[in-house]
Structure 1
Amino acid sequence: MTDGSLPALYAIQYSEFDIRKGAYVYYETAKTNFSEERQFNWIRNFVCPEPNLKDKLIVLTIDNQKLLGCPVIISDGEKYRNNRNEFRFNACFIVPAQADALKYEVAVRKLATYLRTLEIDSCFLTNDILKQEYLKPALDKIVKQMNENGQQCSVKMYSSVFVNLKLLEQQTEPPAIASSDVPMFCNNIDLSDLEQMDQMTQRVIASIDGLRHVNKIAQDTDTELALVKAAMQNLVYHNVIRLVPIFSYKNRYIVTPKIQKLYTDVSLQKELVFFVVRNGAKDCATFYECFSMICAFDHGSLVKDVVNKMKANNIDEKKLVQYCVLNDYLRRVRDYRISLDESVYINTNNLHSNGTSDGNDPSKSKIKKTLRDLCDGTNDSDSLACLGYIFNSRLIPTARKSTQQSLPPLDSYITLWK
């Protein structure tokens, strides 16, 4: 990302290839590090390169400036018979060296596409009069508007042709995906967009229902967990899904300050009621019923306590909770287990230097060590559940497979809620 004191775009450098002069700069909106003849001689073979680099994003850096271009080659034996039957050009952006190239890529490619179309249709770039009258002023305006209008522009290039360019907003990297995360759609998916996605992403999307967690989706689709996480991370990055905690009637939630926005916005209220109504309900839920149920959550109440208290038969409590978490009206109060007695998991007196115990299976000792490490206050009950450990209503840990290992008594743990 560029520094706030630096312009988004220093200049645009338009270059062509001539059979006598080779690659040369036809016009540059301002002098840059790439303007000097010696510097340009170093990069000329990349600015107007051989066909193997055409339509590829070219990124070059000299000192504190970076050049980004997309070389174009138009082949036409009749039209360009005096120039080796082809025409090569490149309209390059000169930007700060620390700028992210991905932010400019779409704009660079789009400008190249505009110029290519104008040349094919109107000989825009091979006619010196048109270039002098239209191209140079248009490039100047693009740079000016890019720096003044929030890194976007709309400039008349020629006749009725307008060039509309915008730099991409730099997005933060998506968070790491946990096995216990539950994906929920936050935007509608266009069927045409779905067809363009890879088969892995399509398979993952078909399994998203707002209740199944990542580990469950991997099991149901018979797919490696790492591949499912990668697909989820990509969907989060493109704002298709958001991640919420696993739903359970033993969960605890608390109302957030954003509930005030829901209370005052009628459109949000209608959306809430439409989303949370129970399938097959005889009576439509009202916003008052939904809002009362949301406000019933506090630190001490489990979901099942709220459901039993409200007795709202026309409201699907699963949809209500997940929807409210997705929109930050409710926040999950998570429970973290902290072990107080490490000797329960590993008896250091019976361990050899290689980490195995006398007369016991090494794999069992490894399982015990893993469980001890997990109960360190950093893994909540959802994470432990995905690994095969569950906690009953008395917070006593229980392995799903009774033969897996014996687990410590209640007084070996404390539970941290946050």
Structure 2
Amino acid sequence: MLSDTQGALSPARSDDNNPFFEGCGREGPIRCIFFSEFHPTAGPKISCQVPEDYISKEVFDAVSVYIIPKQQLQRSILTVNVLGHKITGFPINIPNKKYARNAFYFNLCFVCDAWARTVQYEGVVKKLAEYLMMMELESNFLSNELQLAPENCKLPSILQQILFDLNSKKSCTITEGTTNMHLKVVKVASDPPAILDHQVPIFTVNVQNFTKEMWDLTTQQVLPFINGFNHVAKIAAEADVESNLVKACVQNLVYYGVVQLIPIFQYSNVYCTTPALQKLSDDAHSQEECLKYVARSESNLPALRDVFNMYCNMTHGTTLKDLCLRLNPYTLKIDEQKLVQYGLLQGYIRRINKIPVHSGNTHGSEPPTAMTLQQHLNGVNSYDEICCLSGLSAAQLDQIVDSDPTVFIIWK
């Protein structure tokens, strides 16, 4: 894929051999910007585009009904995918008897590759269209431009500046007469996943950098109980806030990158390393950050070798309790709870979930408690989820599972 700057200078059309696909989530550069109008005799047409002839008549005719749409779709963000192009516009209708057909219809559209994510451009397209509408209402800028000879038009140079600046700098300032307009492409994050009772929020930024006035009242009430160990259900109970409100609050914090979700910490947990651990052996900055985070004392850091060794010994079949008894992190100046937190946050390790499954066979001697839990022993719910749903501790659930021959364990 071309870089953003290259895309502005030498647009490339979509190719059947392109490895990207619609919905892949990758962002791409703006390939073309065009201005379209409804001509009183010719109908919908492209009056100006940069680069020239990027959008062919065949492509435009295929989507013209969405470029200059019916009244019901006016002043709405419309994105269409056609013949290898994704076109985003914000059609506008200015009613006035001075225009032919008593109205002026236009649309300024951004064109990207068919596979590219374009939601980040929607706000820019809308703002730009409304800016042009204001210019038309104040000074007939657009209708005058369309009557000029091509060499005297300002619109092509304006569109060229927007195309180049947004692709290379993600921002652009347009000056026309005494009016300035600032455009900026803002990255739009994906919707955060649903928050579950057993998930543990942990701060990924220094919360001290935020003032109290920056948070809503629910968030102010919840924040003191987010410590990297309390799960959502426990936070709701301790903060005396309804569970769904806490989930909405945490989901909002996840969206803005303030917190990240990790599993509940327990010494019975099993973890294993991931390929990302290689970074800890190669990157000096990561090593320094890791040692400061996992140390029991800021003034007495552990040895990198000991930290790396503890991570490497996290494997299937070994609980954290077993690992601590064998390596004794206290004598190594390592806080095992922070070690696990940091490993999860950086992706160096992952939790191996313990999932009980009821076989479906029933026995007369089956414990009554196990009978009540059968709906949760479905091969989907982990120990953490079942404990939150039932109010049982992991040790109590272990006793129930161990005493029931119809329940077996999946580690995943």
What TM-score, normalized by structure 1, do the two folds share? 0.65
When residues 268 and 408 of structure 1 are mapped into structure 2, their CA distance, relative to the original with a 3 A threshold, is: closer
Q: Is the 8 A contact 1:334 1:417 kept in 2?
A: yes
Q: Which residue of 1 aligns with 2:22?
A: none
The CA deviation at 1:328 is 1.9
- Answer whether contact 1:10 1:94 (CA < 8 A) is retained: yes
- The yes-or-no answer on 1:415 pairing with 2:409 is yes
CA shift at 1:135, angstroms? 2.3
What is the identity, as a one-letter code, of the residue corresponding to 2:303?
Answer: F
Kindly state the Cα deviation for residue 372 of structure 1 after the two structures are TM-superposed. 1.0
Aligned residue runs from structure 1 range 5-154, under 5 A: 11-14=32-35, 27-29=47-49, 30=55, 39=65, 43=69, 45=71, 57-59=76-78, 68-70=88-90, 91-93=108-110, 102-112=119-129, 128=145, 132-140=152-160, 142-143=162-163
Matched residue SS, 1:297: coil
Structure 1 unmatched runs, 5+: 75-79, 348-364, 398-406
Give the corresponding residue for 1:338: 357
Q: Percent same amino acid at aligned positions?
A: 31
Which residue in 1 is equivalent to 2:373?
371
Given the superposition, is the C-alpha separation of residues 69 and 197 from structure 1 closer, same or farther in structure 2, using an over 3 Å criterion? Answer: farther
The alpha carbon displacement at 1:325 in A equals 1.6
Aligned to 2:379, the other structure's residue is in SS state strand
Q: In terms of Rg, which structure is larger?
A: 1
Distance 1:96 1:199, change over 3 A: farther
In the alignment, structure 1 residue 392 sits paired with structure 2 residue 395: yes
Residues 216-255 of structure 1: pairs in structure 2 closer than 5 A:
216-255=234-273
Aligned partner of 1:211 in structure 2 is: 229
Q: How well do the aligned residues superpose, as a CA RMSD in angstroms?
A: 5.2
User: 1:171-186 alignment to 2 at 5 Å?
Assistant: 174-186=192-204
Deviations 1:324-381 (A, max 9, x none): 122122222322223357435999xxxxxxxxxxxxxxxxx9x865511222332221
Question: Closer, same or farther in 2 for the Cα pair 1:282/1:322, shift >3 Å?
Answer: closer
CA distance in 1, matches of 2:132, 2:221: 40
After TM superposition, give the deviation of residue 268 of structure 1 in Å: 0.9
- The alignment partner of 1:210 has SS state of coil
Instruction: State the SS of the aligned residue for 2:154.
Output: helix
**SS of equivalent residue, structure 1 residue 12:** strand
Residues 348-367 of structure 1: pairs in structure 2 closer than 5 A:
none
Instruction: Give 1:180 deviation, angstroms.
Output: 1.3
Rate the CA distance shift 1:10–1:261 in 2: closer, same or farther, 3 A.
Answer: closer
The one of 275, 281, 290 equivalent to 2:307 is 290
Deviation at 1:94, TM superposition (A): 5.3
Mapped partners of 1:193, 1:68: distance in 2: 38
The equivalent residue for 1:350 is: none
Q: Distance in 1 between matches of 2:362 and 2:270?
A: 31
Structure 1 residues 219 and 4 mapped into 2: Cα distance closer, same or farther (>3 Å)? farther
How many aligned positions are there?
A: 370
Shift of 1:97: 8.2
Residues 14 and 300 of structure 1: CA distance in aligned 2, closer, same or farther (over 3 Å): closer
With structure 2 as the length reference, what TM-score do the two structures score?
0.65
Gaps of 5+ in 2: 1-12, 19-27, 50-54
Tell me: CA distance 1:319–1:294, structure 2 relative to 1, closer, same or farther (3 Å). same
- Match for 1:307 among 306, 324, 341? 324
